[in-house]
Amino acid sequence: MFCLGRLFAIGWRLDRRRLLVGGGLLLLGSVATPLVAVGAGRLVDAVTAGAVGDATTWAVVVAVALTGELMLGHFAHLSYFELAELTEERFNRDLLRLVNGPEELAHSDDPAFADRVDLLRQDVMQLRSTVQFGLQLGALVVQVLLTAVVLGAVSPWLLALPFAAVVPVVLGRRAEAGLQAVREAQSPTTRGIRYLRRLAASPASQKEVRLAGGAGFLLDRQAALLDAYGTAMAAADRRHALLRAAGQLVFGLGYVAAVLWVYELARTGRASAGAVVLTVTLATQLGSQMSSGVELLGSVHRAAAGLRRFVTFDDEVTRAAGPARTGEVPATTGDGLRLEGVTFRYPGADGDTLHEVDLHLPAGTSVALVGENGAGKSTLLKLLTGLYRPTGGRILVEGVDLRDVAPAAWRSRTAALFQDFARVELSLQHSVGIGRLTDVDEPGAVTAAVARAGATATVERVGLDGVLGLGYADGEDLSGGQWQSVGFARTLMRTDPLLLTLDEPAAALDALAEQRLVDAYQATAAEVAATVGGVTIFVTHRMSTVRLADRIVVLDGGRVVEQGAHADLLAAGGRYSALWTLQARAYAD
Ligand SMILES: Nc1ncnc2c1ncn2[C@@H]1O[C@H](COP(=O)(O)OP(=O)(O)OP(=O)(O)O)[C@@H](O)[C@H]1O
């Protein structure tokens, strides 16, 4: 009832006219159903008595009631279909808000979070029609009450039949709850099945799957998961079916008793033939009403569970966000960035990825971050850009703890190109422009960023209005390197960042494009250092680029093992020197 109350309130706010029209039409329709039974009974009595006039009247009543029942349901459907669309849109918006709600990204690494979002997506589809189900349920209750009144008028004993109809409804509801619990417990398996399907069918992975002849392997894994899912659901379905059958048996026995009883009344002259027809019709209608009731209650029950998940999720997101942080980003950058004993562990991970990192990056410094695969370079950037919070230690911006700064304020002063940069399949103007939303529709700003990123050739080919990618439109697909240049241009939309980070931004670029990128990076680094004292961090394995930085930081196993200028680190003869010599030798050979 909590669910229906809230959904009706939502429906009322979304479109009260449609809610009232849909509800009104269904209510009228609900009167029509028992009227058909009453009319049929009276018709039989009129025919047996030879009263042609009465028979005609009741025949018309039955015909009108039958037509009305069908038509009203049809018109009601038009109203609540529109309402369902609005409801779905509202919950989708809510879901997007909640998924993006937590200020940090830590939740998105939690598999349980993905499970929940998956379930919520399914819930939206359930919730969209719940107002309709609620209205139909209401109409059904009115029908059953009217049926009870009419049956009671024939014989008070017949009132037992509506009660017998409640048994299957209750048992069906219990069965549905059990089924739902099993479905939820199977969520990781269904997620796995969906993932394998995507892996086998997505254009990105299909090439490798095909070359490796891996389709069979993936199909086998999928079959194993489907098997596990099928076994769990089949057992639950059996229990569900047994409970429902038990309920229907109770009603069936009640039905037989009611028919025998009214037959007995008629045989002993205490009821007319019309009363027998009336009772049999009502009892039959009650049977189908009961089935609809079980279905509708099941749907409402599922929607209630979904709505509860939404409410709990909302509470948790709000709680996780903690009190709103309103601190300003310090205006000047003399001290720059400091990391003090920064430790970080991914949610659910067994160990720390970063250990007690101490770093001071004065304002205006250009930094190259070096280290083997898995050393923690990207993780450090995620912490610095405020996407994750350190699990220990603190990050200071101009002496202000990042924890006290409003996340949105800090993000608005950072610009980043991540290793797994997004391929934003919008028009080139928007794909780049969303790097700074205030200028998203400014062709001048986008053209300038594109030029600095060295992606002018892409604009010439596609045009600013040309859609990138083939995801949903007949757009222009780009090569990996071109996508990366577009991502770089997006990053450069922010012209005054206090922190600019590029994580292996040249991984997909050809030698010429890489050189252009390095030049653009250096120019930007110098510019932001001079104008706002911005710190720039470049992650790369290319030592010729690394040497250009003011400061080189070497990470190993999540620890800073060396830092300093190129010449000092070479002279120190440590890890950096070894890496340098290795690459230099490779080039010399
Ligand atoms: N979302 C995540 N959840 C759990 N562990 C993660 C996650 N992302 C990274 N890790 C782990 O953290 C460690 C550091 O990863 P990170 O991506 O920071 O390394 P990296 O130095 O950038 O490596 P590369 O040079 O390969 O890009 C790795 O062991 C990785 O498995």
pLDDT digits (tens, 9 = 90+) for 302-318: 788 888 888 888 887 77
The whole-number pLDDT of residue 556 equals: 92
Mean per-residue pLDDT, 123-145:
87
Task: Name the more confident of 192 and 348.
Answer: 192
Beta-bridge partner residues of 417: 502
Complex ipTM value: 0.97
Return the closest-CA partner of residue 162 out of 34, 267, 342, 331. 34
| Contacts of residue 358, Cβ cutoff 8 Å, sequence gap at least 6 | 339, 340, 341, 342, 560
Mean per-residue pLDDT, 256-263:
93
Say if ligand 1 is within 6 A of residue 110 CB.
no
Residue for token pair 């010449």? 567
187 alpha-carbon distance from chain centroid: 14
Residue 40 has pLDDT above 90, yes or no: yes
Listed range (30-44, 91-105, 127-141) with the worst mean pLDDT:
91-105
359 alpha-carbon distance from chain centroid: 38
Extract the tokens encoding 261.
């009883």
> Is the CB of residue 80 less than 8 Å from the CB of residue 17?
no
Which atom in ligand 1 lies closest to the alpha carbon of residue 555?
21
Say if ligand 1 is within 6 A of residue 111 CB.
no
Q: If pLDDT is split at 50, 70 and 90, which confidence band does 250 have? A: very high
Say if ligand 1 is within 6 A of residue 155 CB.
no
The whole-number pLDDT of residue 392 equals: 93
Say if ligand 1 is within 6 A of residue 248 CB.
no
If you measure from the C-alpha of residue 375 to the centroid of ligand 1, how many angstroms do you get, rounded to a whole number? 7
pLDDT over 70 percentage in the chain: 94
State the fold for domain 330-413+496-589. Answer: Rossmann fold (3.40.50)
Beta-bridge partner residues of 157: none
If you measure from the C-alpha of residue 376 to the centroid of ligand 1, how many angstroms do you get, rounded to a whole number? 6
The whole-number pLDDT of residue 462 equals: 86
User: Ligand 1 test: best mutation among 346, 391, 419, 420, most atoms within 8 Å of CB?
Assistant: 346
Task: Give nearest CA residue, ligand 1 atom 28.
Answer: 374
Task: Name the more confident of 486 and 513.
Answer: 486
List the chain domain ranges: 2-320, 330-413+496-589, 419-494
> Is the CB of residue 552 less than 8 Å from the CB of residue 560?
no
Q: CA-to-CA distance for 375 and 560, rounded, in angstroms?
A: 10
Task: Give nearest CA residue, ligand 1 atom 6.
Answer: 346
Q: Is 19 exposed, middle or buried (0-12, 13-18, 19+ CB in 10 A)?
A: buried
**In the chain, what's the furthest Cα-to-Cα distance?**
119
Q: What separation in angstroms does the CA of 514 have from each of 21, 30, 418, 509?
A: 64, 72, 16, 5
Packed helices 130-154 and 2-49: angle between N→C axes, nearest 10 degrees? 40
> Is the CB of residue 446 less than 8 Å from the CB of residue 471?
no
| Contacts of residue 486, Cβ cutoff 8 Å, sequence gap at least 6 | 424, 428, 431, 432, 450, 453, 455, 458, 468, 478
If you measure from the C-alpha of residue 347 to the centroid of ligand 1, how many angstroms do you get, rounded to a whole number? 13
Sheet holding 499-503, edge to edge: 414-417, 499-503, 535-539, 366-371, 551-556, 559-564
The whole-number pLDDT of residue 51 equals: 92
Return the closest-CA partner of residue 536 out of 507, 484, 494, 476. 494
Please state, as a whole number, how many other Cβ atoms lie within 10 Å of the Cβ of residue 131.
Answer: 28
Task: Give nearest CA residue, ligand 1 atom 18.
Answer: 376
Length of the chain: 589
pLDDT over 90 percentage in the chain: 36
User: Ligand 1 test: best mutation among 379, 538, 579, most atoms within 8 Å of CB?
Assistant: 379
Query: pLDDT for 68-113, tens place per residue?
Result: 888 888 888 888 888 889 989 988 988 888 777 655 655 666 666 7
Q: What element of type H or E holds 89?
A: helix 52-99
Mean per-residue pLDDT, 100-128:
72
The whole-number pLDDT of residue 101 equals: 64
Query: pLDDT for 153-210, tens place per residue?
Result: 999 999 999 889 889 888 888 888 888 889 888 888 888 888 888 788 777 777 777 7
State the fold for domain 2-320. Answer: ABC transporter transmembrane region fold (1.20.1560)
Residue 454 has pLDDT above 70, yes or no: yes
Which atom in ligand 1 lies closest to the alpha carbon of residue 376?
18
If you measure from the C-alpha of residue 108 to the centroid of ligand 1, how many angstroms do you get, rounded to a whole number? 15
Residue 159: helix, strand or coil by DSSP? helix
Say if ligand 1 is within 6 A of residue 373 CB.
yes
Mean per-residue pLDDT, 35-45:
93
Say if ligand 1 is within 6 A of residue 540 CB.
no
Q: Is 353 exposed, middle or buried (0-12, 13-18, 19+ CB in 10 A)?
A: buried
Please state, as a whole number, how many other Cβ atoms lie within 10 Å of the Cβ of residue 295.
Answer: 15
> Is the CB of residue 193 less than 8 Å from the CB of residue 222?
yes
The whole-number pLDDT of residue 102 equals: 58
Task: Give nearest CA residue, ligand 1 atom 29.
Answer: 374
Residue 64: helix, strand or coil by DSSP? helix
Q: CA-to-CA distance for 141 and 31, rounded, in angstroms?
A: 11
Phi-psi region of 358 (alpha: psi -120 to 50; beta: other; left: phi over 0): beta
Query: pLDDT for 201-246, tens place per residue?
Result: 777 777 777 777 777 888 889 999 999 999 999 988 998 899 989 9
The whole-number pLDDT of residue 581 equals: 85
Q: If pLDDT is split at 50, 70 and 90, which confidence band does 477 have? A: confident
Say if ligand 1 is within 6 A of residue 220 CB.
no
Q: CA-to-CA distance for 162 and 167, rounded, in angstroms?
A: 9
Q: Is 97 exposed, middle or buried (0-12, 13-18, 19+ CB in 10 A)?
A: exposed
Q: If pLDDT is split at 50, 70 and 90, which confidence band does 586 have? A: low
If you measure from the C-alpha of residue 270 to the centroid of ligand 1, how many angstroms do you get, rounded to a whole number? 84
Task: Give nearest CA residue, ligand 1 atom 1.
Answer: 109
Residue 2 has pLDDT above 70, yes or no: no
Say if ligand 1 is within 6 A of residue 109 CB.
yes
If you measure from the C-alpha of residue 346 to the centroid of ligand 1, how many angstroms do you get, rounded to a whole number? 9
Residue 353 has pLDDT above 90, yes or no: yes
Strands 354-361 and 337-344, sheet pairing: antiparallel
The whole-number pLDDT of residue 512 equals: 78
Say if ligand 1 is within 6 A of residue 254 CB.
no
Task: Give nearest CA residue, ligand 1 atom 7.
Answer: 346
Which atom in ligand 1 lies closest to the alpha carbon of residue 371?
21
Say if ligand 1 is within 6 A of residue 351 CB.
no
If you measure from the C-alpha of residue 379 to the centroid of ligand 1, how many angstroms do you get, rounded to a whole number? 6
Task: Give nearest CA residue, ligand 1 atom 8.
Answer: 379
Q: CA-to-CA distance for 306 and 128, rounded, in angstroms?
A: 11
Return the closest-CA partner of residue 251 out of 279, 281, 288. 288
Listed range (42-56, 165-179, 370-384) with the worst mean pLDDT:
165-179
The whole-number pLDDT of residue 333 equals: 65
> Is the CB of residue 524 less than 8 Å from the CB of residue 500?
yes
Output DSSP code: residue 468: B
Task: Give nearest CA residue, ligand 1 atom 25.
Answer: 373
The whole-number pLDDT of residue 535 equals: 92
If you measure from the C-alpha of residue 251 to the centroid of ligand 1, how many angstroms do you get, rounded to a whole number? 61
Q: Which stretches of 415-510 are DSSP H helices?
A: 428-433, 443-453, 456-462, 480-492
| Contacts of residue 185, Cβ cutoff 8 Å, sequence gap at least 6 | 232
Say if ligand 1 is within 6 A of residue 18 CB.
no
The whole-number pLDDT of residue 493 equals: 93
Q: What element of type H or E holds 68?
A: helix 52-99
Listed range (5-19, 320-334, 501-515) with the worst mean pLDDT:
320-334
304 alpha-carbon distance from chain centroid: 18
If you measure from the C-alpha of residue 14 to the centroid of ligand 1, how many angstroms do you get, rounded to a whole number? 45
Residue 335: helix, strand or coil by DSSP? coil
Extract the tokens encoding 227.
């098997």
If you measure from the C-alpha of residue 218 to the centroid of ligand 1, how many angstroms do you get, rounded to a whole number? 26
If you measure from the C-alpha of residue 555 to the centroid of ligand 1, how many angstroms do you get, rounded to a whole number? 12
3-state secondary structure 11-35: HHHHHHHHHHHHHHHHHHHHHHHHH
Extract the tokens encoding 61.
């009543």
Q: If pLDDT is split at 50, 70 and 90, which confidence band does 490 have? A: very high
Q: What element of type H or E holds 562?
A: strand 559-564
Residue 116 has pLDDT above 60, yes or no: yes
What is the residue-averaged pLDDT of the chain? 86
- CA atoms in the 13 A half-sphere facing the CB of 6: 15
Instruction: Compute the C-alpha angle 198/200/206, nearest 5°.
Output: 110
Packed helices 52-99 and 273-321: angle between N→C axes, nearest 10 degrees? 10
User: Ligand 1 test: best mutation among 109, 113, 369, 377, most atoms within 8 Å of CB?
Assistant: 377
